[in-house]
Chain A
């Protein structure tokens, strides 16, 4: 992104010239108002990329409306007959939109991303370790229940209970973000991560893969 801005010769703060006709444009403009040509994508966070306010309780309908609306005007399919530069720029836009949509549509990733934006990244999200005893004792107990589950019915019951727990935690995360209680949000998101892992392992077992269950 920053390279695009260098190449496009961004000068005054928030402004850059159109790469084609040199008309002065806002860095956020996806198209030139003078010649209509597509511009390089701006360096934006995932919420701004989709014209959304950064919030956890994001209505799916809003997210989809923005994503599909923007893809309709920026997707490479619309640029099939254009120059290679315009095709490349449209691909950059489409990729950035996909990435933003992919992060924001999943509550777990959306929450973690929001914490990052607020300058309070999740403990251990970067591969580091945590030693929250209560949380890990819970996680260990859940995984033991899965390992000890005798048959498919028991595994399915475990999945149902994990999903109910996840729904309750999501509601708590919404509350924590609403009150700007980022420490609680971070802890709840970590619990959600462990629940998601349990559910994935349990589903793999039902599907017959049975991987990763050990000791």
Chain B
């Protein structure tokens, strides 16, 4: 399959690969998988006291499109509020990376991963709705 330039760029120079401390109160972790292709994706966000995502890391084992989708999302969410980050749609990811129809599920995985990371962070901060007082 021919990958688009944007996919190849993110695949060859993935942004924000790494791990944040899962037990840190400021870190939200999303772990999702696509069993059909055996992919597994971890996406983590570090949230400032003001409720802004100040760092994001990912670790993905999967195809080029899955890696590019998670790399792109970590780039996009930095500097965003949780609500803004949570409104990212897989269609935007797929469009930016020009994913072919058979690879749309990779962008769904990335959308689910950021949503799971936000949910994990919010579960750690039930009272302040994402903001640390």
Contact = CB atoms under 8 A, between A and B. Distances in A.
Interface of A: 122-133, 135-137, 139-140, 143, 147, 190, 193-194, 196-198, 200-201, 212-215
Contacts, number: 84
Interface string B91-112: 0000000000000010011001
B36 A139 contact: no
Nearest to B62: A212
Given A136-B40, A214-B67, A215-B17, A129 B34 contact: yes
A161 B124 CA distance: 36
A4 B100 CA distance: 34
Interface of B: 11, 14, 17, 31-38, 40, 42, 58-63, 67, 105, 108-109, 112, 116
A131 B32 contact: yes
9 contacts: A124-B33, A124-B34, A128-B108, A129-B33, A132-B33, A133-B31, A214-B14, A215-B59, A215-B60
A176 to B, nearest CB: 17
Contacts of B116: 131
Contact of B59 (A131, A140, A198): A140
B50 to A, nearest CB: 28
B71 to A, nearest CB: 8
B105 A196 contact: no
A198 B33 CA distance: 14
Given A132-B33, A136-B31, 5 more contacts: A124-B34, A124-B36, A131-B31, A135-B33, A214-B62
A14 B96 CA distance: 53
Contact of A131 (B11, B67, B112): B112
B35 A143 contact: no
A200 B61 CA distance: 13
B67 A215 contact: yes
Given A140-B31, A140-B42, A126 B61 contact: no
Residue among B31, B33, B35, B61 with the most chain A CB within 10 A?
B35
A140 B39 CA distance: 9
A190 B37 CA distance: 11
A124 B59 CA distance: 20
